[in-house]
Amino acid sequence: MKRLEELLEIGPHDSERLKEAGVKTLRDLAYVQSLPELSQRANIPLDQIQELQRQAARRLKASRYWRRVGVGLVALILAGVAFKLVYRATSERAEVLGEQLYREGKYDQAVLQFERAIELDPDNENAFANKGGALRGLARPQDALASFNTALTLDPNDVWTLEERGEAYNDLGQYERAIQDFDQAIQLDSLYKYAYQGKAFALHRIGKYQEALQAIDKLIELDPKNAWPHNEGASIYQANFGQYERAYQECKKAVDLDPGEIDYQMNIAEAALTSGRFQEAVDRAKSLLPGDAGASSTGAGRLDPPDQLSMRFIVISALLLQRRTAEARTNLAEFIDYYKSAPSNLDRHWDYTGDLQYIDGHPMDRSSKAIIMNVIQLLEDPPKSSIQAIERLLASFEERPDLVEE
């Protein structure tokens, strides 16, 4: 009998831990009732235990398939129709190749292999499900839905396919329908973390913020090393609840967990601004802009024009809030020059609701507030003509050492 480390993606040490916890075979692992309890007994992280159980289930499914093939082969040979098994085996090989291409990010080639697998075996539900995943990778969510629907017709209780179909509905902006799939996946497997992530995303987009935070909290419980839920929660705390300090702390956790993710770096710069950490906001935003002496290797040169404008906005706002008007004027002039040179079809990437609320409620002089509000308006609804209003403000904007708070 093969050892667990020969069947699963684990080392001998973890294999021995599982055996000491009473798990000696794939079947033992696939049918464990309490994964948290096994995680504690074996001293193996819960997310790794979940992944190992999925691997075990897939292995058992494959072995059952080949046992059926072995039993049926004799009868089929006697019946003179053994070629059908050859088709199924070839379908399996095409599916395996498609999965490898999918992991390599070669989604178009993966789709071709999955289609070949389906052509050889129209009842291969895994091939339909995997084809849907590859189509999502190609940004074709509508086509992906068709594949997921067929896969779920063949296997209605496949948790992975339900979660992936929910993500396809998210891609299409059909959030209510997505939540139905995520809830069904959670009902089948209450520890399936990806379903909570998709559900939190959908709930956030339809304005069910408290429910979104509940899903986020569950995701953090299941996957404490995942930075995404902290970043997503920060967005809700800032823009929807005005809890700026909580938003900053959640952003900080996201950056600590995944310092290389540029979106998290940008978001903590914004959170620093709205939590009153003005100098930190300046430093973080500038470090992400190309050409800055302190630009970080993770951010410099990687921002597209809308994100660069957003970081420049944070620098300008933080300087004005510190009454450093001369520096703010210089940076505002650079902002205008960059905006004029940027593409005319700028997409709006950011939601400035939290920034608007914070600036509106923060005491500062009328001229500075007018500049910040005009920049936000420009970034949220960018007709080129709006730049003229900011240019007029810049022309009349003089450095004054003692600004009067209103």
Q: What is the 3-state secondary structure (H, E, C) of the chain?
A: CCCHHHHCCCCHHHHHHHHHCCCCCHHHHHCCCCHHHHHHHHCCCHHHHHHHHHHHHHHHHHHHHHHHHHHHHHHHHHHCCCHHHHHHHHHHHHHHHHHHHHHCCCHHHHHHHHHHHHHHCCCCHHHHHHHHHHHHHCCCHHHHHHHHHHHHHHCCCCHHHHHHHHHHHHHCCCHHHHHHHHHHHHHHCCCCHHHHHHHHHHHHHCCCHHHHHHHHHHHHHHCCCCCHHHHHHHHHHHHCCCCHHHHHHHHHHHHHHCCCCHHHHHHHHHHHHHCCCHHHHHHHHHHCCCCCCCCCCCCCCCCCHHHHHHHHHHHHHHHHHCCCHHHHHHHHHHHHHHHHHCCCCCCCCCCCHHHHHHHHHCCCCHHHHHHHHHHHHHHHCCCHHHHHHHHHHHHHCCCCCCCCCC
Residue 289 lies in a domain: yes
pLDDT at 310: 93
> Is residue 323 in some structural domain?
yes
In a domain, 337, yes or no: yes
Residue 21 lies in a domain: yes
For residue 143, being part of any structural domain is answered with no
Q: Domain boundary residue among 17, 50, 78?
A: 78
Residue where a domain stops, chosen among 59, 78, 97: 78
Question: Residues with Cβ < 8 Å from 92, sequence gap 6 or more?
Answer: 65, 117, 121, 124
Tally of structural domains, the chain: 2
- Per-residue burial over 145-156, b if 16 or more Cβ lie within 10 Å, else e, is bebbebbbebee
Domain extent at residue 1: 1-78
Task: Indicate whether this model's pTM tops 0.85.
Answer: no
Of 53, 78, 103, which residue sits at a domain end?
A: 78
The tokens describing 400, both together, are: 């004054």
112 within some domain? no
**Per-residue pLDDT at 213:** 98
Cα–Cα dist 280/347, whole Å: 27
What gap in Å lies between CA 309 and CA 8, rounded to an integer? 48
Q: Does any domain span residue 153?
A: no
Residues in Cβ contact with 129 at an 8 Å cutoff, skipping those fewer than 6 apart: 147, 148, 151, 158, 160, 161, 164
**128 in a structural domain:** no
- Tens place of pLDDT for every residue, the chain, 406 residues? 445 555 565 666 666 777 777 767 766 666 666 777 777 777 777 777 777 777 766 665 555 443 444 444 445 444 444 444 445 556 678 788 888 888 899 999 999 998 998 888 888 899 999 999 999 999 999 999 999 999 999 999 999 999 999 999 999 999 999 999 999 999 999 999 999 999 999 999 999 999 999 999 999 999 999 999 999 999 999 999 999 999 999 999 999 999 999 999 999 999 999 999 999 999 999 999 987 544 544 544 578 888 999 999 999 999 999 999 889 989 988 988 888 887 766 666 678 888 888 888 888 888 888 888 888 888 876 655 567 767 776 776 654 444 433 3
User: Could you tell me the maximum CA-CA distance found in the chain, to the nearest angstrom?
Assistant: 98
